Amino acid sequence: MRSVTLLGSRRFLPLFVTQALGALNDNLFKNALVVLVLFDVSQSGGTVLVELSGGVFILPYALLSATAGRLADRMEKSQLIRMTKLAELGLMLLAALGFLTGSVALMMAVLFGLGVQATFFGPVKYGILPNLLTEAELMAGNGLVEAGTFLGILAGTIAGGALILLPGGAEIVAVAGVVVALAGIGSAWFIPPAPVAEPGLRLGWNIWQQTVVLLRESRHVPTIWMCTLGISWFWVIGATMLAAFPPLARDTLGADGHVVTLMLAAFSVGIGVGSMLCARLLHGEVSARLVPYAAAGLSVFIWDFAHVAVTAGRLADVGAVISHFSGVRMVTDLTLLAVSGGLYSVPLYALIQERSDAARRSRMIACNNVVNAAAMVLAAGTTAVFSAAGLSPPDILRVLAGVNLLVVVWMLRAAVSFQSSGRRYDKTGA
């Protein structure tokens, strides 16, 4: 199996380990901070700080992705990865100071810094893959990266919430963050070098202008632009689902926090399975032919999950969930929903890489990050409006499932339009 071969490859394994450890560390810190704020700062606006934390982390993606993409195309990529990992170590040392002193302000500043670090790591992480892998390996490589990212998110989220509540939890989390960062630096040193894409590229520090230029460049290659929109829609779905888990578990099921963890685990494992299954089903071909079917699966399983949540009655804990048919059905829906998500998103990432000109690849990925960030902000705002209007989490998910069907229709119409026009686009959009 190609995925197993890649995991044993000197070309790919160091990058896989580096990015998985980065996802783990980001979420270890974020969830430890969230739990600490909720339990220890509740009297001074802890809930507001928790709501702000997501925006603090995602803001750098909107502000700095254009610069990050240009830097990734200008520098040798393995060197840039090592620089971002060194920055992560510095941030984890500051985080340790924040945990040990109880300074929420310092920890929020670290959260913003981690967002900046992730913004610069994203384009180079995906941009280097085509340099390390053959075209036949690209789908499997992207699937493994996606799987590693979501499993890192799961492990970090669970560990951060659990460790911070232990006696001496702040000290444990502080040490864990530094150790994981050091491990990431160690793995990054084994990533093979990649050719510099465009050595003479000017960075430019007008953030707004660079972002506008980046979006225009991406729109000139219709395949890349459509993939960007498709991935951004996936993040709308993912962000809405993840935001719905806690209130749905608490208010609809009457469940405890462990049920939320079970939901997150089912979602993360499903993404990993779908991501790795993608290369097998497509036999290594970089193709979007599975995407409309996977998108339709998203609607089916979102709708059924919401329907069962309303009719399931009280499922107070994990034991109740796994011992009742309705609970098992909900977990199955979440897993299959996430499998569909992996089958949906991985081909789109691979297409952006494969269709981008080598000298501009990281910028195209950075453009995707900008649009993703805007989509997640839009999803959060829309969910807040729906909640204020009185819609319950299952109602919001039903709306999401219906809108997603419209997106499926748009995808199919666009695909037919491209095919019937006879147009084919090379990597520069000609």
Spell out the SS3 assignment of the chain: CHHHHHHCCCCCHHHHHHHHHHHHHHHHHHHHHHHHHHHHCHHHCHHHHHHHHHHHHHHHHHHHHHHHHHHHHHCCHHHHHHHHHHHHHHHHHHHHHHHHHCCHHHHHHHHHHHHHHHHHHHHHHHHHHHHHCCHHHHHHHHHHHHHHHHHHHHHHHHHHHHHCCCCCHHHHHHHHHHHHHHHHHHHHCCCCCCCCCCCCCCCCCCHHHHHHHHHHHHHCCHHHHHHHHHHHHHHHHHHHHHHHHHHHHHHHCCCCHHHHHHHHHHHHHHHHHHHHHHHHHHCCCCCCCCHHHHHHHHHHHHHHHHHHHHHCCCCCCHHHHHHCHHHHHHHHHHHHHHHHHHHHHHHHHHHHHHHCCHHHHHHHHHHHHHHHHHHHHHHHHHHHHHHHCCCCHHHHHHHHHHHHHHHHHHHHHHHHHHHHHCCCCCCCCC
How many Cβ atoms sit within 10 Å of the Cβ of residue 6?
Answer: 21
One pLDDT digit (tens) per residue for the chain, 430 residues: 556 677 778 888 999 999 999 999 998 998 888 777 766 654 455 555 666 667 788 888 888 888 888 888 888 999 999 999 999 999 999 999 998 888 888 988 999 999 999 999 988 888 888 888 888 888 888 888 888 888 898 889 888 888 888 888 889 999 999 999 999 999 999 999 988 877 777 777 777 888 888 888 888 888 888 889 889 998 888 888 877 777 777 778 787 777 878 888 888 888 888 888 888 888 777 777 888 889 999 999 999 998 888 887 777 778 888 888 888 898 899 999 999 998 998 889 888 888 888 888 888 888 888 898 888 888 878 887 887 788 888 888 999 999 898 888 877 776 655 544 444 444 444 3
Look up the pTM and report it. Answer: 0.81
Q: Is 115 left (phi over 0), alpha (psi -120 to 50) or beta?
A: alpha
What domains does the chain contain, in order, with CATH numbers?
Answer: 1-189 (1.20.1250.20), 213-422 (1.20.1250.20)
Total count of residues recorded for the chain: 430
Residue for token pair 């510099």: 196
